[in-house]
Amino acid sequence: MSDLLANLNTPQLQAVTLPSVHALVLAGAGSGKTRVLTTRIAWLMSTGQVGPHGVLAVTFTNKAAKEMTARLSTLVPINPRGMWIGTFHGLCNRLLRAHYREAGLPQTFQILDSADQLAMVKRLLKNLNVDDEKYPPRELCHFINAHKEQGVRAAQAEVYDNYTEKRVELYAEYENQCNREGVVDFAELLLRCYELLQRNEPLRKHYQARFSYILVDEVQDTNKLQYAWLKLLAGGGAKVFAVGDDDQSIYRFRGAEVGNMRDFEREYAGDNVIRLEQNYRSHGNILTAANAIIKNNRERLGKNLWTEAGDGEPIRCFEGYSDLDEARFIVEEIRELVRDGVSPTQIALLYRSNAQSRVLENELFTKNVPYKVYGGLRFFERQEVKHALAYLRLLGNPDDDTAFLRVVNFPTRGIGARSLENLQVTAHQMNSSLYNAAASLTGKAGQTVGAFIRLVETLRQETAGLPLPEVVEHVIEKSGLAQHYRTEKEGQERLENLDELINAAATFIDDEGAIGEGGALVSFLTLASLEAGEHQAGEGQGAVQLMSVHSAKGLEFDVVFITGLEQGLFPHENAVSEGKDGLEEERRLMYVAVTRARRRLYLSCAQTRMLHGQTRYCMPSGFLDEIPESLLLKLNKKAAPAPAYPAYVSFGGVYAEPAVAGGLRVGQTVEHAKFGVGVIVASEGRGADARVQINFGASGMKWLALEYAKLTPV
């Protein structure tokens, strides 16, 4: 027993050895929550309070479940394979397999993954002759899953208007089709299991009596139905031991309810709330910064991370003139770190939006620094980017059959597989490209494929003579790609990537100067092909890690760069527009990002960033202001030279006239008695209320009232 409890700190020991009570463990980042959870199970079994079959342990990922099982097998002399340890979906599947008759399922019921579900919905819409542009399949999947995660069947769904009524009707048809085919989707696993236990009293009482201890990992990520499922199983007297961190609740967009933790504290834990605040990952300055940021969220259960590891290095803060300048700084720092002996695998570049990776990838590629995109695809490999490039390739070379097949029916134009098979046979017989063979098609296939050919020809004519960024933007819009992704519930990220492709084209023109043979479009497509090649590090090769902050949760690195810390980007403008809840989720996301770093943390932003191929003038993220100045080592360059500004410029996405009251203008270099020489980058208000934002270089960005600033033009 002494070995089991050895090396636990006081709060950890208190949590592990609690008597038979409900409890909530607030486990801060890097505080050893997995260790506490597994040791708690081992202690309960070692002291004879419960047997292996009396424990139910719920995690959110299969990786976490496997890690818990592996650790448990080293702590107690049992075989944990038969224990009920797993994800919500995995445990519900196990229960439904054992009671398939009672659940109204065939014994061999199959589970639909997200791709299978989408395919079924598409098939359903086709069979019912429903317009899939008015009712996009992906959006309908999201509608169905969101209702199921709230515990709402089609029969109980609220109807607000004719459009909602039709979606509910389709939800009901989808339920019928799943029942006919004997299949369940992921959301159905949990809902079907919950309904079974709720209506079948003997079965419910059996499992309530079986599990005397229920342990829940990452409770802050539970949705409404998952929390209700846990309460149902605990209804027979089982003691629930919930571990989580409300400050790391970052999955609201997936239905996670951070309020479940407060509800659990009120309904179950009461005074049995234990805080794990000692951090074993990061140095003190990093934790102090994280604490300073997250304390600005109002509705927290509250904790304060600390460490015995010392303060460590200051947090390095860099403000570039542009996103390219920011990327160049980051890559140079990485090269210096690697020369100093830091392993590339221990360096992570984090960004709020996946579209930001493009500039970073380009600079890493240029400087020959191996990298890997964790949990996602490299920029030029992403579906929406490859679709746009395929259209562009057809403008330059209509005989490109690979590009033709990729987009001839995307977005959907009613061109079926049979029509394409016939076209390919015809092209082979004619020894021609698919594009040229299309003219020989007759009937409906001839009409639909012919319409696509006319679209490509129209795009070629309309873009002739346009600058490359405008060509890319026009094709994205007129091909129907942009509208297609606008109708998707989760299409915002894909639209951001398409915007970034326009930026890539603009940057390409700026960087290349003289364009090679074939013109700008051909040269740009060549670059895209090269960057989508094999530059990403191979298996086992040391490589810098690129990822979104959401993907970084649960990971840790010696060196972390948090990039793009600008208002509208991080915090993201979409979240901020949702009000307090959206901003607080963004702040939790920033807290997660900061606490990924062990030893060295970089925070970076840019004064300007490309948007739709044009320059956007940015304000530093408000999160930077929440970090005490004493923790920061500012690496800024001297004041930026005054850029050439267009007639209209963008401040955080809002276009405004660059003229400023007092005879000054945006882009003008001015001098201030205290802060020195700087450049006016933004303005707001008029008359006595006029304010300007000025980049003073080493002194940072400042908002000053014109009435009192006494600025002198230089």
pLDDT tier at 591, thresholds 50, 70, 90: very high
In this predicted structure, which of 309-313, 539-543, 594-598 has the lowest mean pLDDT?
A: 539-543
Pair 457, 539: CB distance under 8 Å:
no
CA 49 to CA 171: how far, in whole Å?
A: 46
346 Cβ contact partners less than 8 Å away, ≥ 6 residues apart:
557, 558, 559
pTM listed for this prediction: 0.77
Residues 16/5, Cβ–Cβ less than 8 Å: yes
Distance CA 265, CA 267 (A): 6
CA dist 215 and 55 (Å) reads 8
Q: Are residues 427 and 465 in contact, defined by beta-carbon separation less than 8 angstroms?
A: no
- Integer Cα distance of 353 and 282 in angstroms: 25
For residue 516, give Cα distances in angstroms to 398, 402, 524.
Answer: 20, 24, 10
Q: Helix crossing, 357-366 with 323-339: angle to 10°? A: 50
- Taking alpha carbons only, the member of 55, 80, 46, 77 closest to residue 66 is 80
Asked if the model's pLDDT at residue 636 lies above 90, the reply is no
If one counts every other C-beta atom within 10 angstroms of the C-beta of residue 115, the result is: 8
DSSP H/E element including 535:
none
Residues 674 and 223: their CA atoms lie apart, in Å, by 52
Edge-to-edge strand order for the sheet containing 701-705? 701-705, 691-695, 676-684, 669-672, 712-713
What's the pLDDT band for 684 if we cut at 50, 70, 90? low
Q: How many Å apart are CA 577 and CA 583, to the nearest integer? A: 8
For the cut 60, the answer to whether the pLDDT of residue 533 exceeds it is no
| Angstrom distances, CA of residue 82 to CA of 78, 203, 235, 390, 570 | 10, 20, 23, 51, 45
- Report the C-alpha gap between 60 and 82 in whole angstroms: 19
- Torsion over CA: 685, 691, 695, 700 (sign): negative
Q: Report how far residue 596's alpha carbon sits from residue 562's, in angstroms, rounded to the nearest whole number.
A: 10
Q: At what angle do helices 492-512 and 519-531 cross, to 10 degrees?
A: 120
What pLDDT is attached to residue 201? 95
Q: What is the DSSP track for 477-516?
A: HHTSHHHHHHTSTT-HHHHHHHHHHHHHHHHHHHHH-S--
Per-residue pLDDT at 547 exceeds 70: yes
Q: What is the pLDDT of residue 517?
A: 47
Mode of pairing for the β-strands spanning 183-185 and 110-112: parallel
Q: How many CA atoms lie within 13 A of 388 on its CB side?
A: 35
User: What are the residue numbers of the active site?
Assistant: 33-34, 217-218, 248, 596
**Whether 277 contacts 313, CB under 8 Å:** no
Q: Which residue has the higher pLDDT, 653 or 103?
A: 103
Distance CA 208, CA 234 (A): 6
Mean pLDDT, to the nearest integer, of 531-560? 80
Instruction: Report the DSSP beta bridge partners of residue 84.
Output: 56
Amino acid at 446: G
Q: How many residues does the chain have?
A: 714
State the CB neighbour count (10 A cutoff) for residue 342: 17
Whether 123 has a pLDDT exceeding 80, the answer reads yes
Q: What is the pLDDT of residue 332?
A: 95
- Range scoring the smallest mean pLDDT among 46-50, 537-541, 619-623: 537-541
Place of tokens 């004519």: 461
Higher pLDDT, 537 or 691: 691
Question: Tens of pLDDT along 294-314?
Answer: 999 988 998 999 999 999 999
Strand runs (DSSP E) across 193-283, as ranges? Answer: 213-216, 239-244, 273-276
Domains along the sequence of the chain with CATH: 2-97+192-276 (3.40.50.300), 110-181 (1.10.10.160), 279-378+536-637 (3.40.50.300), 379-531 (1.10.486.10), 639-714 (2.40.10)
3-state secondary structure 313-382: CCEEEEEEEEHHHHHHHHHHHHHHHHHCCCCHHHEEEEECCHHHHHHHHHHHHHCCCCEEECCCCCHHHC
Q: Pick from 70, 62, 79: which is nearest to 37 by CA?
A: 70
Q: Which of 167, 161, 158 is nearest to 139 (CA)?
A: 167
Least confident segment among 19-33, 406-420, 544-558: 406-420
Q: Of 343, 217, 284, 317, nearest to 624 (Cα)?
A: 317
* Cross-strand partners of 694: 680, 702
Residue 197, amino acid: L
Closest CA to 587 of 575, 597, 596: 575
Residues 657-673: tens digit of each pLDDT: 345 556 677 767 788 87
Q: What is the pLDDT of residue 648?
A: 33
pLDDT of residue 562 exceeding 90: yes
